[in-house]
């Protein structure tokens, strides 16, 4: 009864880590915070921007999240799109899913307008039916709000959809939305880390997804 596949964006469809690292370090420097290492930042990708600040600089910085977010977004407008690289398998995977009659969506903590600009640059806009970004929900993953919004946009029920993501945050969001989950190992999360969640499959990357779902 599968009708739709919903994707996370960062580390699932694309690698934005170069841009994200730049934005976070720029924001930290502007706020005179300790500058986090690239590996430490990579481990936070997929969290909302306020939660990234807390994860890297401590709970005591939460009250400065708005300032951090403004600095992050100002830098992201300059560098993010040019430093985001869609994985090679993605165009073929999306075309195969579309040919099989499956609808597709993206549910991410990244801003929708930024995702849409990257999809347009890559010629993928017509292959994604709905994009839900950070500006579209009031709370972010692992809260399931973005997935519920994606279901609404696709006009499908939770048991008719599949969510594909790279992190335990994605897995928890899928579980809370009662959507089946498939993990991909293109991020920093290890296969064993998904053991606490009910994943239908753990794939090395998206290449095998069409064969698995169609």
35 φ, ψ to 5°? Answer: -85, 120
pLDDT of residue 36: 98
**79 pLDDT above the threshold of 90:** yes
**46 pLDDT above the threshold of 90:** no
pLDDT of residue 214: 80
* Helices and strands, number each (H, E), in the chain: 9, 8
Convert the pLDDT of each residue in 90-128 to its tens digit: 999 999 999 999 999 999 999 999 999 999 999 999 999
pTM reported for the whole predicted model: 0.93
Instruction: Give the closest residue to 24 by CA, choosing from 3, 39, 2, 13.
Output: 39
Domains of the chain listed by start with CATH number: 4-15+84-213 (3.40.50.1000), 17-82 (1.10.150.240)
157 pLDDT band, cuts 50/70/90, is: very high
């Amino acid at each position: 009864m599968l009708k739709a596949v919903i994707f996370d964006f960062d580390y699932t469809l694309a690698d934005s880590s170069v841009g994200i690292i730049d934005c976070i370090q720029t924001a930290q420097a502007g706020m005179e915070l300790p500058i986090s290492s690239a590996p430490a930042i990579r481990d936070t990708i997929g969290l909302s921007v306020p939660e990234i600040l807390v994860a890297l600089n401590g709970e005591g910085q939460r009250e400065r999240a708005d300032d951090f977010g403004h600095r992050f977004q100002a830098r992201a407008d300059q560098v993010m799109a040019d430093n985001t690289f869609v994985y090679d398998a993605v165009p073929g995977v999306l075309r195969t899913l579309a040919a099989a009659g499956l609808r597709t969506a993206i549910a991410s903590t990244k801003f929708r307008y930024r995702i849409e600009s990257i999809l347009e640059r890559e010629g993928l806009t017509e292959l994604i039916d709905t994009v839900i970004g950070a500006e579209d929900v009031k709370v972010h993953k692992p809260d399931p709000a973005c997935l519920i919004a994606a279901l609404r946009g696709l006009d499908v029920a939770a048991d008719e959809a599949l969510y594909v993501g790279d992190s335990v945050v994605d897995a928890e969001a899928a579980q809370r939305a009662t959507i089946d989950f498939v993990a991909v190992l293109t991020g920093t999360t290890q296969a064993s880390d998904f053991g606490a969640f009910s994943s239908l499959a753990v794939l090395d990357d998206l290449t095998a997804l069409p064969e698995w779902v169609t």
